[in-house]
Structure 1
Amino acid sequence: MAQHFLLSAQARTISLKAVFTMGEEKAYETFRAMRWPETDGEAVCPRCGCVETYDIATRRKFKCVACHHQFSVTSGTIFASRKMSFTDLLAAIVIFVNGAKGVAALQLSRDLACQYKTAFVLTHKLREAMAREQTGRTLNGAVEIDGAYFGGYVKPENRKEDRRDRRLTENRSGKRQCVVIMRERNGKSLPFIVRNEGDAVPYVRDHVGTLATIHADEGTGWDALHAGWDTKRVNHSVSFWDEGACTNQAESYFSRLRRMEVGTHHHIAGPYLHQYAREASWREDNRRVDNGMQAAMVLDAAMGARVSRNWKGYWQRGEQSHPAQA
């Protein structure tokens, strides 16, 4: 019997031991190589684009020859104004990608001996950078679509006769939101946050090619899809698949996200649900990529992302308002 990829040696190409033994200087060189790959790690001024700079080695900074702007390897990225060492930042990324169902900020704070606030904001910055991969994505081929509700909690009454059926809309928590996933068969995925399943139809029109074949369940919210696509439906009260129509890969995504919510984070606040949904999508899309490459992808995305407006000075300015769309 063939060994599962995630259990094989090919899936393990980086470890925390390797990160901590490489030293701060090598970690710094890794960040330089990711920030300026076109010049093999040689600094490029982020203000004017000049490739000639003075190296202020004692401060790990650079000064542009043309405009005299001083900058560091993390200037203008989500790691701007960082206080953690480069080794700790690289270790945080490795810990983050190694969590198949995500990593709790509390665990990360203990692993790196940093404040919970630091770990919480850092993981959300990484999620924001990872989500850049999904920007403007269009899905084609066989696309599975499904929705599931996350967040909120209605505590059941003590006595059985007083309990309500929490599956009914009128008995759900007002904080509960619907995560809709659109996923290509053996391809990429794209999540959205809506109030009800049917509210995702406009997003389907924007992100699914007209020649795609859509697979959905018998939920009435998906009836409108027949007007624009070849749509196949499956009645889950009867079977999981019917004549090739199924949403099993969409359900696989929900399995991961549900375990992230219940088993890892225990609670996901409504304003942040879209970031966790994107993270689960990224993990599903790259589940057959070795952890070394995953870490490189996250670091590359982080170094290419601009300073976060949602997470810059988060604890000083209070909670941010986040968009509903994921």
Structure 2
Amino acid sequence: MAKKILVTGGTGFIGAGIVKRLLADGHTVRVLDNNSRGADRRLKDVHGQYEMVEADIRDLAKVSDAVKGMDCVAHLAYVNGTEFFYTKPDLVLDVGVKGMTNVIDACIAHGVGDFVLASSSEVYQTPPVVPTPETVPLVVPDPLNPRYSYGGGKIICELMALNYGRKHFERMTIFRPHNVYGPDMGWEHVLPQFVLRMKDVHAATPAGRPVTFPIQGSGQETRSFVYIDDFVDGLALMMDKAEHMSIYHIGTMDEVSVADVARQVGAFFGRAVELVPGTLQPGGTMRRCPDIAKLAGLGYAPKVSLAQGVPLLAQWYVDNAGLMPASKD
């Protein structure tokens, strides 16, 4: 059944992906974003098909106006990007917690019955089990480490969604993305940074020689990456079929080392790679791979491998390196 859906953070990387999918599925979509990190270009293919509200998620009056008349709110607005966790933890929490409070208050005021929250794999930091199910404990290992501003804020948002959800919503669902990637995903993430650094060392290294490529950590740290198209399929499926008060991981179970990721990026440029290990940032996690059995039970089956997805991402960043902002403030 077609719904009227508000997507906060809808010009962000993940937000734009779900906006386009919701429109394709016949829903009426309103987007709220201040474009501080989002970009209208991500929705250029569907301009004119959605209503845009340019506003800060911390502005209650504007959030309330945007929520009014909606059947469902998908709340994705947040400050993402590992660099910001360390350099702007106060901003991460300000946007995260104030934004969540405003959205919940507006939904209650206007009788919105369906609420979808974007959380993160960062809520459990270093998981006790890999692959990791949705039921593991949520933790903040060190409150003095600014990195945990992000995961801590997401834990607060989950607690609010669950505890307000019991009383005020007909259906409340939470999804935890796991390393979503693809073209135009932003500039503060490992894959774009690898591509742009590899582009530079490739240009500076004589043909036929391996490139020397410094990394954080040993390279044996692992992640599981999910291509944006597969991620959007999973989120759309969850929004259609998930039950009230449910939490779902969205990702893949293809665990890959950071070293192998660097080699795949090097292969895009036709280069062998000699890695130079470095210091892992405080709070970095050795392994992360979600158990996606719960979402698979609804019919989820990711299709795009990392080997297929990395060239698509890399080509976009090579072609659009000039779009990188001079300052990320």
Fold shared by both chains (TM-score > 0.5): no
Q: TM-score, normalised by structure 2?
A: 0.28
Structure with max Cα Rg: 1
Q: Under a length normalisation based on structure 1, what TM-score does the superposition of the two structures give? A: 0.29
